[in-house]
Structure 1
Amino acid sequence: MSDTISHPVFAINHIAAPNMTPAEFFQLAKSLGLSDVEIRNDLGGNAIVDGTPAAEVRAMAESAGVRIATINALQRFNQWTPEREREAIELADYARDVGASALVLVPVNDGSGQTDGERQANLRTALTALKPILEQRGLMGFVEPLGFEICSLRSKREAVEAIEAVGGRDRFKLVHDTFHHHLAGEPELFPAMTGMVHISGVADPDLAVGEMRDPHRVLVDADDRLGNVRQMRELIDQGYTGLFSFEPFAREVQELENPSEALASSMDTIKAGLV
């Protein structure tokens, strides 16, 4: 087995330590030996929400010696409206100015827009409109299917087909989220079309798959039920060379006094499993 298997390239999403300021979060990443981070636009009282100029956040990241891989995320991207267009332009401008490489695109997740034909058409409309917005700013768009049964985009294959239909292979990639991949039950992987992998675990033994929700998502440990290590190994074996970014939503993780120790332990668990 190749050396690459035991040395995945990790990153962290700000949701792993949402109470940290951007500067503290960037230092956390650096202390863990990481070079890449994801910042978010849904953390109250924190950049981007508090209005911190992109240039300031970019300077903080550069000072810490880390790269901003993505801004997470343009929500409800596949419900394209004039309001969504304004949001997309504003967020894409910020992503460009902060030095991010990509904008994560999250679909409608409230039970609407799910009917066959409607959801595919909505997705193509949104990708067609987003393509020039991203191109003009030198950004990639990372489409993230969600595994929840109420989501309007659960299938990675459907996302890939839409990307190809709008001629967007050079502008759009997938987010493979290990949690959502498990929930969706779609076996196929698309490593060549994957731009980012989000990793988190579920350890609660009493949860049915259909009951799993974001608050159950902890750091990957020996009790992980989602098959993170297996998913990662398959992606790497099939040629994926990108980032594996920690994205835990569980409050017990987010409120840790020493997230560095817990993240380092999870990295060690994953590396040991990949050998």
Structure 2
Amino acid sequence: MSATRSAPVFAINHMVTPALRPQAFFQLARSLGLQDVEIRNDLAGNAIVDGTPAADIRAQAAETGVKIATINALQRFNEWTPEREKEAIELADYARDAGAAALVLVPVNDGTGRQDGERQNNLRKALTALLPVLNERGLKGFVEPLGFEICSLRSKREAVEAIEAIGGQDTFRIVHDTFHHHLAGEPELFPQWTGLVHISGVTDVAVSIGDMRDSHRVLVNAQDRLGNIAQIRKLLAEGYTGLFSFEPFAEEVHQLENPAAALSQSIVLIKSQLQA
């Protein structure tokens, strides 16, 4: 039987404060008593996009005392082309040199590649190609199904089946995103297959589940509609021992004058509700 953990271990994704430079972002994590962060390759005007060398990121993380859990993300990973392969190798090199442990893999999310048979084949082809890229650099690959109806990979079960089919159990895990789990409506959690959990809440009472988008994603609070507490409680009870990483996309979070206070408040709320 897997060991269970009663309290979650939190991390923060750079999407919490996309305007902060990496070192300030790392310092934010430490000010909250956190040791783990996720960095991103999609923040305009910030590292990694601005050409900041991976060695600089590694040095700043070491100086601040944080560990880089992931680089988020290789987009459209399950549309494997020569261009994608080149992109994957460059990002994996950067992840290795920055000291990151894993690369998040995000599927095509534009309505293409969704046909039954096609999407499973595309997924297995991509995972097969990524296996040596990741293994040669000592990285894990975290596959993140998205709950949007137009996504080419919505099901965690399909992701797990593909990983098993290509013999990738030692390299690949899945991301459980509380927002996407709620949207997808897939009841199973797969805690033993989960390498990372992304957490965010939705509080807008006017938006339907089918119309929820990243822009609705705020920090988890008492008005959350996604059932974050129930999801976290069940993941912990079923043996998940990894990180719970805050990943809000809402502009109102990005504009917070005191993100540390807001994050601290969310952490306290989650812990207290888990104990209730």
Report if aligned partners of 2:78, 2:107 keep a CA contact under 8 Å in 1.
yes
Q: In structure 2, how many angstroms separate the alpha carbons of the residues matched to 1:103 and 1:147?
A: 20
The alignment partner of 1:137 has SS state of: coil
Match of 1:245 in 2: 245
Q: Give the superposed CA RMSD.
A: 0.9
In structure 1, list runs of 5 or more residues that go unmatched.
Answer: none
Letter in 1 for 2:5: T
- Residues 6-17 of structure 1 correspond to what in structure 2 (within 5 A)? 7-17=7-17
In structure 2, list runs of 5 or more residues that go unmatched.
Answer: none
Match of 2:192 in 1: 192
What stretches of structure 1 move > 4 A for 4+ residues in a row?
Answer: none
Match of 1:43 in 2: 43
- Residues 74-223 of structure 1 correspond to what in structure 2 (within 5 A)? 74-223=74-223
TM-score for the superposition, normalised by structure 1: 0.98
The alignment partner of 2:5 has SS state of: helix
Q: In structure 1, how many angstroms separate the alpha carbons of the residues matched to 2:256 and 2:128?
A: 41
Q: In structure 1, how many angstroms separate the alpha carbons of the residues matched to 2:114 and 2:124?
A: 14
Report if aligned partners of 2:175, 2:196 keep a CA contact under 8 Å in 1.
yes
Report if aligned partners of 2:8, 2:244 keep a CA contact under 8 Å in 1.
yes
Q: Percent identity?
A: 73
Q: In structure 2, how many angstroms separate the alpha carbons of the residues matched to 1:4 and 1:241?
A: 6
The alignment partner of 1:4 has SS state of: coil
Report if aligned partners of 2:71, 2:104 keep a CA contact under 8 Å in 1.
yes
Q: CA deviation at 1:207?
A: 1.1
Q: CA deviation at 1:255?
A: 1.0
Match of 2:263 in 1: 263
Report if aligned partners of 2:218, 2:249 keep a CA contact under 8 Å in 1.
yes
Q: CA deviation at 1:4?
A: 3.4
Report if aligned partners of 2:4, 2:240 keep a CA contact under 8 Å in 1.
no
TM-score for the superposition, normalised by structure 2: 0.98
Q: CA deviation at 1:257?
A: 1.1
Report if aligned partners of 2:120, 2:162 keep a CA contact under 8 Å in 1.
yes
Q: In structure 2, how many angstroms separate the alpha carbons of the residues matched to 1:4 and 1:167?
A: 28
